Each structure stands twice: as C-alpha cells, then as structure tokens.
Amino acid sequence: MTYFEQLHPWCIVRNFPSQDCVVVARFRCYNDATAYLQVLQRQANNVKFVVKFNSQT
C-alpha cells in the first residue's frame, strides 16, 4: 500500500459483472466520498458504485 493510499482510505469502487472491481477515486474522509458518489450516480445512472473503507496496513 502506497503512502497516498494510506492517507486516503475511503474508496469509490465500480463493480463489473465479471467480479472485477476498479477503484475510481480515493478520499480522506467519508463525507467527501459520499458526496462524490452522489455526483457519479447522477452522471451514470446505470452504473453501480460503492463506497468502501480500505483498511489494509
């Protein structure tokens, strides 16, 4: 895990039907992540995004 990833533990993840997932964005606080999640959901109605906490150390 990089230093940037340690400083930004909240992730917005896009899940694909093939069980793959891609980290779309990383944030330091949960409120920023959920606000950006709302923006993404307005722009892409049929795409599923999830906010996750990355706790790997």
Rounded mean pLDDT of the chain?
A: 91
Q: What angle do CA 42, 46, 10 make, to 5 degrees?
A: 65
pLDDT greater than 60 at residue 57: no
How many percent of the chain have pLDDT more than 90? 60
Taking the C-alpha atoms of residue 26 and residue 29, their distance in angstroms, rounded to an integer, is 9
Question: pTM of the full predicted structure?
Answer: 0.81
CB neighbours of residue 42 within 10 Å: 8
Task: Report pLDDT for 32.
Answer: 96
Residues 4-26 have pLDDT tens digits of 888 889 999 998 888 898 999 99
Task: Report pLDDT for 4.
Answer: 81
Q: Where are the alpha helices (DSSP H) in 1-57?
A: 3-7, 30-43
Taking the C-alpha atoms of residue 10 and residue 25, their distance in angstroms, rounded to an integer, is 8
